């Protein structure tokens, strides 16, 4: 593929995808701060709909960035096509875990500042569990991607291309 075409793909698909993805993540952190900052019993259905819209926007941006990387270089996701969706799902899941963790931990500090230490400790504990979950999912996704990449490389070396 010519370098000019790669540059156009990166400019018109990759950059907007990265902006949508980053905006969705930052919006998600803000939504979780707002949702949990007022207390767990005050989450409105509108806030839940906004959180779902944030997750969808983040997914679309992540898919745009991932597709740009696959089309332009393909170094990171050099695996079989049937394994792309599970790999992307694990990576996206880790990102959503991190967003929930960040919003929950910041909301815990806000609750502690309001003089509600029990709720702050509960939110802090939930946030730390989310950090552990995000770390575990990210490590698992990376390990699976590396294993699938090695399997694909061995398969390509063993297959004659005559």
What are 128-151's pLDDT values in tens digits? 999 999 999 999 999 999 999 999
What are 4-42's pLDDT values in tens digits? 888 888 899 999 999 999 998 888 888 878 777 765 566
Write down the pLDDT at residue 30.
83
- Torsion-angle region of residue 35: left (phi > 0), alpha (psi -120 to 50) or beta? alpha
Write down the pLDDT at residue 38.
67
What are 59-78's pLDDT values in tens digits? 999 999 998 888 887 777 78
Measured CA to CA, the distance from residue 70 to residue 75 in angstroms comes to 7
Mean pLDDT on 85-98? 89
């Amino acid at each position: 593929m010519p370098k000019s075409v790669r540059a156009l793909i990166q400019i018109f698909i990759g950059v907007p995808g990265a902006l949508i993805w980053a905006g969705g993540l930052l919006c998600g952190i803000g939504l979780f701060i707002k949702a949990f900052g007022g207390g767990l019993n005050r989450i409105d259905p509108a806030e839940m709909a906004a959180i779902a819209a944030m997750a969808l926007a983040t997914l679309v941006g992540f898919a745009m960035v991932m597709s740009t990387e696959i089309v332009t270089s393909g170094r990171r996701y050099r695996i079989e096509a049937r394994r792309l969706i599970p790999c992307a799902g694990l990576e996206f899941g880790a990102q959503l875990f991190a967003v929930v963790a960040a919003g929950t931990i910041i909301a815990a500090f806000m609750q502690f500042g309001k003089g509600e230490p029990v709720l702050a400790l509960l939110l802090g504990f939930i946030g730390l569990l989310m950090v552990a979950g995000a770390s575990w999912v990210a490590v698992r996704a990376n390990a699976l991607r590396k294993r699938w990449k090695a399997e694909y490389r061995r398969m390509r070396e063993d297959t004659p291309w005559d």
